[in-house]
């Protein structure tokens, strides 16, 4: 080949999901160390991540008794209010509510989406909508972290790279079909040679059109040799590289397992079923019991203490897996408690695959 064209990306994404708390000078609000825009995107990008968040929020909003009902606006139930509050806490590490400025006995509570909530150096709460910064009376619940004194940290920060990697792998495979569902190739023209202008055009085109997972599996055309003007140019197609489907399968499985481990949830409860383990009768009971002891019960205590400190007695109901004799009973109990849907229960037990759903 007469000329070689080797291009290496000089820069990647500058987006940082984890950084430092920063003060916005003009309004003195503190921006969280986590990129809430990115966390919002991650919520919708991975099924195991989203199901883990929802599962924990559901378990942490299973109310035994509370005084919430008398402090909620019409149409809002204690279960619905607390579920949304805890889904924000699990997703962002922080959750907020607004408290109406009325007499102590009759105040009302309203969920404030953490995506729009910010605090200042004094801990005062604001709702941020566009350029507006609206001060609110309310409270801020957060999971403590060494990364910030102002905002909380969700469980899954160590698995953020895995969520992003799987997202990019899915987009890469999507681009495979968008670009013709064929492997990457170089189409080489022999006995002809590009001009300097053509080389510059190829270089610029490559930088713009071939870099990144969104441009996977496109075809690059190269020429070589000036030719003698008598013979017709020969064209050959060479495969440049190939990523086997199996490597994606392994990548996604490893990423899936790390995401679930970061959340600490029982794999069965987010639809990861090992066919070889079915029929044992106690696998899920054991997983759920450990999950309750290590993750759920400590958080329950934190939530109850938080609401009590704001004049709202609250007692959460623990789901006791040990009260059931086998896994099928546990799943039935989870459905009865509203923690799993019937469709999710089928996936937990491995029946959805067997029935073709």
Q: Does residue 275 sit within a domain?
A: no
Are residues 37 and 143 located together in one domain of the fold? yes
Are residues 76 and 113 located together in one domain of the fold? yes
User: What gap in Å lies between CA 271 and CA 51, rounded to an integer?
Assistant: 9
Full residue range of the structural domain in which residue 208 is found = 175-246
Are residues 121 and 184 located together in one domain of the fold? no
Instruction: Name residues whose C-beta falls within 8 Å of residue 304's C-beta, 6 or more positions apart in sequence.
Output: 314, 315, 316
Which residue, among 114, 151, 161, has the nearest Cα to 22 in the 3D structure? 151
Give me the mean pLDDT over the 130-153 stretch. Answer: 93
Are residues 85 and 207 located together in one domain of the fold? no
Q: How many domains does the chain have?
A: 2
User: 273-290 pLDDT, tens per residue?
Assistant: 766 555 455 778 888 888
Are residues 34 and 150 located together in one domain of the fold? yes
> How big is the CA angle at 305 (ends 43 and 155), to the nearest 5 degrees?
25
Which of 246, 273, 301 is the last residue before a domain boundary? Answer: 246
Are residues 143 and 190 located together in one domain of the fold? no
User: What gap in Å lies between CA 233 and CA 121, rounded to an integer?
Assistant: 71
Q: Does residue 42 sit within a domain?
A: yes
Residue 206 has pLDDT above 90, yes or no: no
Q: Does residue 240 sit within a domain?
A: yes
Residue 304 has pLDDT above 60, yes or no: yes
Q: Does residue 227 sit within a domain?
A: yes
Buried b (16+ CB within 10 A) or exposed e, 280-310: eeebbbebbbebbeebbeebbebbbebbeee
Are residues 114 and 183 located together in one domain of the fold? no
pLDDT value of residue 56: 95
Q: Does residue 116 sit within a domain?
A: yes
pLDDT value of residue 9: 38
Are residues 103 and 187 located together in one domain of the fold? no
Q: Does residue 202 sit within a domain?
A: yes
Are residues 150 and 184 located together in one domain of the fold? no
Are residues 111 and 149 located together in one domain of the fold? yes
Which of 88, 123, 155 is the last residue before a domain boundary? Answer: 155
Are residues 148 and 184 located together in one domain of the fold? no
> Over pLDDT 70: what percentage of the chain?
70
> In which region does residue 279 sit, left (phi positive, over 0), alpha (psi from -120 to 50) or beta (all else)?
left
Which of 122, 155, 188 is the last residue before a domain boundary? Answer: 155
Residue 149 has pLDDT above 60, yes or no: yes
User: Model-level pTM?
Assistant: 0.75
Q: Does residue 38 sit within a domain?
A: yes
User: What gap in Å lies between CA 333 and CA 31, rounded to an integer?
Assistant: 42
Q: Does residue 214 sit within a domain?
A: yes
> How big is the CA angle at 142 (ends 89 and 137), to the nearest 5 degrees?
95
Are residues 125 and 26 located together in one domain of the fold? yes
Instruction: Name residues whose C-beta falls within 8 Å of residue 259's C-beta, 6 or more positions apart in sequence.
Output: 46, 48, 49, 52, 156, 159, 162, 163, 166
User: 94-132 pLDDT, tens per residue?
Assistant: 999 999 866 666 789 999 999 999 999 999 999 998 888
- Token pair, residue 100, equals 């109406």
């Amino acid at each position: 080949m007469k000329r070689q064209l080797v291009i290496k990306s000089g820069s990647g994404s500058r987006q940082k999901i984890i950084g430092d708390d920063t003060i916005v000078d003009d309004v003195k609000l503190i921006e969280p160390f986590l990129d809430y825009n990115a966390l919002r995107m991650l919520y919708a990008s991975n099924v195991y991540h989203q199901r883990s968040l929802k599962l924990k929020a559901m378990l942490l909003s299973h109310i035994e008794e509370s005084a919430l009902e008398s402090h909620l606006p019409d149409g809002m139930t204690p279960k619905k209010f607390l579920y949304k509050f805890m889904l924000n806490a699990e997703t962002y590490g922080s959750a907020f509510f607004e408290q109406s400025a009325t007499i102590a006995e009759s105040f009302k509570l309203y969920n404030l989406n953490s995506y729009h909530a910010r605090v200042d150096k004094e801990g005062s709460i604001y709702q941020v909508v566009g350029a507006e910064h609206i001060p609110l009376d309310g409270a801020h619940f957060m999971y403590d972290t060494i990364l910030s004194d102002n905002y909380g940290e969700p469980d899954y920060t160590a698995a953020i790279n895995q969520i992003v990697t799987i997202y990019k792998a899915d987009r890469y495979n999507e681009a495979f079909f968008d670009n013709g569902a064929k492997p990457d190739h170089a189409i080489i023209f022999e006995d002809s040679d590009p001009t300097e202008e053509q080389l510059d055009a190829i270089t610029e085109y490559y930088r713009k059109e071939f870099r990144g997972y969104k441009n996977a599996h496109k075809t690059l055309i190269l020429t070589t040799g000036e030719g003698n003007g008598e013979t017709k140019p020969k064209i050959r197609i060479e495969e440049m590289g190939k990523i086997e489907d199996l490597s994606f399968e392994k990548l996604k499985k490893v990423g899936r397992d790390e995401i679930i481990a970061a959340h600490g949830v029982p794999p069965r409860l987010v639809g990861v079923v090992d066919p070889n383990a079915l029929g044992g009768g106690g696998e899920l009971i054991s997983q759920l019991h450990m999950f309750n002891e290590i993750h759920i019960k400590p958080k329950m205590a934190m939530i109850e203490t938080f609401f009590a400190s704001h004049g709202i007695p609250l007692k959460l109901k623990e789901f006791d897996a040990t009260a059931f004799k086998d896994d099928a009973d546990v799943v039935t109990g989870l459905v009865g408690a509203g923690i799993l849907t019937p469709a999710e229960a089928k996936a937990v037990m491995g029946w959805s695959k067997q029935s073709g759903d």
